[in-house]
Chains A and B, each alone.
Chain A
Amino acid sequence: AQKVTQAQTEISVVEKEDVTLDCVYETRDTTYYLFWYKQPPSGELVFLIRRNSFDEQNEISGRYSWNFQKSTSSFNFTITASQVVDSAVYFCALSEAGSNYQLIWGAGTKLIIKP
């Protein structure tokens, strides 16, 4: 059965530190899609990245980077030089190609950046 595990319930770091949020997934499909969303204290859900299972290249977008490793079924998210505005709950999610409309969500990691 498909599953997404975000083992870190809450992480607290001081501003400017680097921080990595872990995401481990389970799926039997060979074609699937992985997502990260950010939910700031205001409550909206902000899309960060979507990756398909055939693209294992790491992605960098400014201070954000993602490390996709099929060998360990992980899709980890790193924020470099964290800022207070990065404080939010971050969700990892999985969609299997065979379930085009179902997105399996992790429980989320609450990230607190202290000034």
Chain B
Amino acid sequence: NAGVTQTPKFQVLKTGQSMTLQCAQDMNHNSMYWYRQDPGMGLRLIYYSASEGTTDKGEVPNGYNVSRLNKREFSLRLESAAPSQTSVYFCASSVQGLRTGELFFGEGSRLTVL
């Protein structure tokens, strides 16, 4: 039971470098999400994809881009990393939004930007 898989689990970047976080789910879910979690705070939504072929901004989209590659995969890209993007990133999926059920989360990716 893989569920939601994120890679990499840890990454250190220098300011200005770019990187992509990968996420894949094997539950045949339609909706996928990227969140960030900062110390002492709840999760904040960066982007989401309601279904394959669509993406929408969440609360904190600035500095990020996403791609819904297919139904299984949803990637998050940092084009020019900044120290303010140091955080733990979580990918999640759900059947179809939140009316039909809960979010299933990946294990998280810890990103440090120096």
Contacts and interface: CB of A to CB of B under 8 A. Distances in A.
Nearest to A97: B99
**Interface of chain A, helix or strand or loop or mixed?**
loop
Interface residues of B, number: 26
Contacts of B33: 101
Contact of B45 (A45, A102, A107): A102
Given A35-B102, A100-B99, A101-B50, A43 B45 contact: no
Contacts of B58: 102
Contacts of B107: 43-44
B102 A47 contact: yes
B2 interface: no
A93 B42 contact: yes
A47 B103 CA distance: 8
Interface of A: 4, 33, 35, 43-45, 47, 50, 91, 93, 95, 97, 100-103, 105-108
B108 A101 contact: no
Contact of A33 (B43, B50, B90, B98): B98
B48 A107 contact: no
A50 B42 contact: no
A12 B50 CA distance: 39
Contacts of A4: 42
A108 B48 CA distance: 22
Contacts of B56: 101
A45 B105 contact: yes
B39 to A, nearest CB: 10
B108 to A, nearest CB: 5
A100 B97 contact: yes
A20 B59 CA distance: 30
Nearest to B107: A44
B53 interface: no
